[in-house]
Every structure is written in C-alpha cells, then in structure tokens.
Amino acid sequence: MIRSIARIFFAEWRKLRRPTLLLGTLGAVAFFSILVSSVLFLMIDSPQGNGDRGVRITREMLSLSSGATQSFSSIGGLLGIVALCVFAAQTAQEYSLGTLRNLLVRQPGRIRILVGKLASMKVFAIVMTLVSAVISIAVSYALAGGKNVDTALWFNGDGRLEIAKTLLNVYISILGFGIVGMVLGIVLRSPISSISLGVLWLLIIENIVGALKSSTLNWLPGNQLSTIATGGSQSVSYSHALSLSAIYVSVALVIATVLFTKRDVSN
C-alpha cells in the first residue's frame, strides 16, 4: 500500500517537475510576491492604502516582529489561485488527455492514485510557499530601509516564530485552494472548465457577493482560505476560517473521492 502510493507520488512528481510547469508556476509565484511586497512598501504613504482592499499598513505595523511576513501573508489568496489552476489542470488533464486509463491500468487502486497525486501536489505547494516566502521577505527587507521601516524585530526570536507561523498558514491556505482545484478537476474533467469556474468564483463572484453583503464574507470559501494565510482578519477570526475551510475541503474531498472511485472511465 505505502509502496504503491510512493510510486504514484514519484510518477506524479515527474509530471510536476517538468520545466515549463515548474518554472512557469514559480515565475507566477515570484511575480505576485514581488508585486505585493513592492506595493506594500512603495505605497506606504499613499492615501489609497497599501494593503488588500485599500487597507493602510503603517510603518509602525511593519516594524513589528510580523513585519517581515506582512506581504507574504497577503499573497496567500493569489498563490492559492495559482495552486488551484495547477492542481485543477493536473487532475483534469488525466481525463481530457485520456491518460487516466493508462494510470488505472498500471495502478488500479483508485484511492491510492488520489492519495499519491495529492501527496505529490502537497510537495509542489511546499515549493511554491517557500519560494514566495523567500522572495517576499527579501524584497520587503530590501525596500524597508528606503522607506524608514525598522527591521530590528523581524529576525529576532519572535520574528522567526512569526515567519514559521505565516509559512504554515500560507501553506494551509495554498493547499486548501489546491484541493478545491483538484476537486473541480475531478468533477468537471476539463482543465479549462475547472480553472475557469474556480477563478470566476474566487476572483469575481466572491468579491461581488462580499461587496453587496459583507456578512457573507464569514462563510464564502475563498475568503476563509485567504483569511487563514493572513492569520485572521477584522471580520473573520483565524479559528473560524480554519474550521469552516476544513469542513468545505473535507466535503469536497469526499465528493471527489466518491466520483473518482465509482465513475466509469469511458473517455
């Protein structure tokens, strides 16, 4: 059992590590990391705000021990969308290319395939998280001096703890988005449909619904996952976001597992 899951993991990793996918994804991660970190520091004095949804993050806030990871934590939602696209495409393409039948002939344990694939994608999400953390913290550190932000507390004991905590939160958030993408891939069996629906929901529908009725932000799945990355927000607590996300992801995983194991592979 463990051996066959390991084999599925490494087989999936062969697909994930291909240069176009790996470098393309890490390029997008680097772009968002540089963009968000730069906006945070370069627009520090802007009256329009320098954070998510026009929020102002002051020099004093950035000088705290959490200052190093301030930009990194706000990137969580964007990284999540990147993860959703990668996980959805990797899963749905097995149906659209017809390669799922090859996989199932070589490894008929369908749950094992799902677990092995997920494990491989989890490692991919770790790579994404680490690359984003390194870039966003490095850019923040490089820009902090020019904007008179004190970095003395960033890398002391509390600062390192904040970095570790944020790494974990961003990783959980990215993974949650990724699993939603994987589930969409299994349900819709088309990379374009699953990515379109996921991005449409997260970037447009949730924002419109949230803007029309702010109380919905307490239960919209994308907002819960983004909130985990930031460690909680004014409107949604960290524990609420974490527990509600766990419910969403668990239900989605159960549906995907049932579909993946029971559905005929006829394409």
Partner 1 sequence: MSNLAISVKDLSKKYGSSLAVSHTNFEVPLGTICGFVGPNGAGKTTTIRMLLGLISPTGGDAQILGEPITSPDKYLASVGAMIEGPAFYPALSGAENLRVLATLGGFAQERVDQLLEQVGLADRGGSKYKTYSLGMKQRLGIAAALLPNPKLLILDEPTNGLDPEGIQEIRQLLRSLADKGTTVFVSSHLLSELELISEYLVMLRKGEVVFAGPIQDLFDQQQPFMIVKTQNEQDLAKIVVIAQSAGHKAHLRDGSAHIEGPAEWAGTLNKLAFDSGILITQLSPQMPNLEETFFELTGNQK
Residues at the interface with partner 1 (CB under 8 A): 3-4, 7-8, 10-11, 14-15, 18, 20-21, 93, 97-99, 101-109, 264-266
Smallest distance from the beta carbon of 258 to partner 1, in angstroms? 14
Nearer to partner 1, 50 or 96 (CB): 96
Smallest distance from the beta carbon of 114 to partner 1, in angstroms? 14
Smallest distance from the beta carbon of 54 to partner 1, in angstroms? 40
Smallest distance from the beta carbon of 216 to partner 1, in angstroms? 39
Nearer to partner 1, 14 or 53 (CB): 14
Nearer to partner 1, 94 or 206 (CB): 94
- By the 8 A CB rule, do 70 and 62 touch? yes
Nearer to partner 1, 35 or 115 (CB): 115
